[in-house]
Structure 1
Amino acid sequence: MELTGFCGNGDLISHHVYDAAIVGGGLAGLSAAIYLGRSRRDTLLIHSGHSMAKWEQDVQNYLGFPDGISGNDLLTRGFAQVRRFGVEVADDDIHALERDREGMFQLTGLAQRYVARRVLLSTGLTHVPPDIPGVKDCLGKSLFFCKDCDAYRVRNRSIVIVGRNNESAEYALSMLLFTSQVLICTNGKTPLWDTAHAGWLAEYSIPVTHRSIRSISHDDGQISAVVFDDGESLSTHAVFTTRGDVFHHDLAEQAGAELDEEGQITVDHSMRTSVPGLYAAGCVTPANCQMIIAAGQGATAGQAINRDLFKEDLRRHALPRVEKAKPIEAHCL
């Protein structure tokens, strides 16, 4: 489908109009693209290569991979599957999104502009690691953000939780199912957990230190100790941090979509936002940030977008269809 119009100098311009544009090439975006491609929708997947799945060295809780798989390998397989079903993939960074009076979405990237009837935002989030020397080398290897993803891999080992809020306290308490060696470090800050959480920490004898961390000692990403400002060190095998998340919701906000108090994009059961034709899926929504959950949300969004386009085409009396094949003529030999 082509959209034509006039630019400021009077020249006629034309834009290809996609049925759907997906912004974000993580598990949610790839899953939606597969469903839309298989539904024979003219689909564009735009990504900038920043999926947090790349941080995961060994994904052990994604169905179908009993021996685990790296996040990078999972993404590589996903992109191959997307291309198999005819989805166009663009390497670009979208920085502006608006819905025009005709209901079309205008997406502006660093490379070019795009137009689509429907848009899915699967822009995800970024976990904020502690600003401590040595941390970045250990990401996804022995420093983790998600207990649901990674507590199992550090069972029966010593664990330090870096944080000072209720979530930090709950991380430490939940780790007791995996190990007896758990400590909370507030990294020089005053604890913010409430009275109830303080009581539970005392009840289950979770040690807490308020010392500041100078650095993380490690061997090729495998943590061996936490080094404090006073020079003392604490031997440990893993660190979990609960510093916080940055939700990549700027495009949704530009388009006028509702956000919740934490900055996540509000969606309904079909992944629809408050803006007609705009969808969101994955870790940028209030769902638990798990790869397999993101993929499931992407599938839900892909199916919902396809249904939405189908109903619109019926209303417009513009239902696309395969052209009739010419009849085969029989010839006598």
Structure 2
Amino acid sequence: MKPARHHVPRHLLTDVDVAIVGAGAAGLSAALVLGRCLRRVLVLDGGPPRNAPSPAVQGFLTRDGTKPADLLRLGREQLMPYNSVEIAAGTVTDIEAMSGHFHLTIEGATGRTRTLSARKVLLATGVEDELPPLDGMRDLWGRGVLHCPYCHGWEVRNQPLAVYGRAKLVTGLALLVSRWSPDVVVCVEDPAYLTLNARRRLRQQRIQVREEPVVRLEGTRTGELRHIVFESGEKLARAAVFIHAHQHQRTQLAGQLGCRLTSKGAVWVSKQHQTSVPGLYAAGDTTPGTQQALLAAAEGNAAAISINETLTREECPR
């Protein structure tokens, strides 16, 4: 006699088991795990990822140096054998938490909307960087203007580098960047707030502090930095400048649902990657912590395992 299969109670039947909002490293990684768990999954792709301007994803084991678009293409290709997983272009404009499930409103490329029900939702929408309002900053972002020395330090090693930003942020970043180059200059937006202790630490590492206002960045058409230009007209030749950009959530979905946020605006999650809203999970840059594609993928994996085990407990009551 064949063993009886477990069935989800009728009141929990939904269009999909899991809706994943975001098709970056975290979202695709979660979809892979859930697909292997035979879960019905819809991945909603809202557009290019944060690292789209970057020439390559670095520090990702077996994929070091891969173009961001190629990494996502490979991820999508590897989801093709899992028939229960679908990827669709669409922006989630609203999520409503119901009793035991969620309703999502999705806007397609043509502007038409549709609704979808899911037992669980994973937010993997990431963040957007708020770049300083300097001429050239946006044009050089991802190549001549960098945010993470772990991601890009090797590529600009032993070259003249700069760190730009507010006093309370530049010291730690400059000390870190000095691991990759002996020639680092700090350009401080608000030098009056750079403490004596911070100046001492920078001086000990032979990091020069420039207090003159910066008016623009000059670079090539392909995004490489050539000069930092000060208000006086003086030009400082640099190969790259690192900044500690402020960030905000790419969507307001977490806030609309009343999720707990950290003081820095990240979506708080438990050890199981569940937000403060039951059944709603988050992974990748959306959540607190170090931001790297490999770590986002790992978080997506961990969140998917937690989701599947929660679904299984609901399907197999005691």
Counterpart Cα distance in 1 of 2:16 and 2:195:
50
1:223-234 paired onto structure 2 within 5 Å: 223-234=225-236
Quote the offset at 1:19 in angstroms: 0.2
Given the two structures, how large is their TM-score scaled by the length of structure 2? 0.89
Counterpart Cα distance in 2 of 1:165 and 1:112:
47
Rg larger for: 1
Counterpart Cα distance in 2 of 1:91 and 1:192:
46
Post-superposition CA distance 1:116-171 (Å, at most 9, x none)? 00000011111222222222222222210112211121111011111123331111
- In the other structure, the counterpart of 2:144 is 142
**Residue among 284, 287, 301 paired with 1:285:** 287
2:218–2:229 contact (8 Å) kept in structure 1: yes
CA shift in 2, pair 1:62/1:204, >3 Å: same
1:162–1:185 contact (8 Å) kept in structure 2: yes
Q: Which AA in structure 2 matches 1:73?
A: D
Find the residue that maps to 1:53 and give its secondary structure: coil
Is 1:109 the equivalent of 2:106?
A: yes
1:53–1:72 contact (8 Å) kept in structure 2: no
Counterpart Cα distance in 1 of 2:192 and 2:79:
46
Post-superposition CA distance 1:77-112 (Å, at most 9, x none)? 112222331211121111211211x22111112232
- In the other structure, the counterpart of 1:37 is 35
Find the residue that maps to 2:218 and give its secondary structure: strand
Counterpart Cα distance in 2 of 1:159 and 1:33:
39
Counterpart Cα distance in 2 of 1:239 and 1:169:
14
Counterpart Cα distance in 2 of 1:43 and 1:35:
10
Post-superposition CA distance 1:303-325 (Å, at most 9, x none)? 11111111111129xxxxxxxxx
Find the residue that maps to 1:256 and give its secondary structure: coil
Counterpart Cα distance in 1 of 2:195 and 2:96:
42
1:175-254 paired onto structure 2 within 5 Å: 175-187=177-189, 189-220=190-221, 221-248=223-250, 250-254=252-256
CA shift in 2, pair 1:176/1:75, >3 Å: same
Counterpart Cα distance in 1 of 2:21 and 2:264:
21
Is 1:299 the equivalent of 2:301?
A: yes
Given the two structures, how large is their TM-score scaled by the length of structure 1? 0.85
Quote the offset at 1:205 in angstroms: 3.3
Q: Which AA in structure 2 matches 1:71?
A: P
Q: Which AA in structure 2 matches 1:56?
A: S
CA shift in 2, pair 1:248/1:88, >3 Å: same
1:164–1:191 contact (8 Å) kept in structure 2: no
Counterpart Cα distance in 2 of 1:252 and 1:167:
27
**Residue among 57, 68, 71 paired with 2:68:** 71
Q: Which runs of 5+ in 1 are unaligned?
A: 6-14, 317-333
Quote the offset at 1:193 in angstroms: 4.6
Find the residue that maps to 2:19 and give its secondary structure: strand
Q: Which runs of 5+ in 2 are unaligned?
A: 1-6, 108-112
Quote the offset at 1:195 in angstroms: 4.9
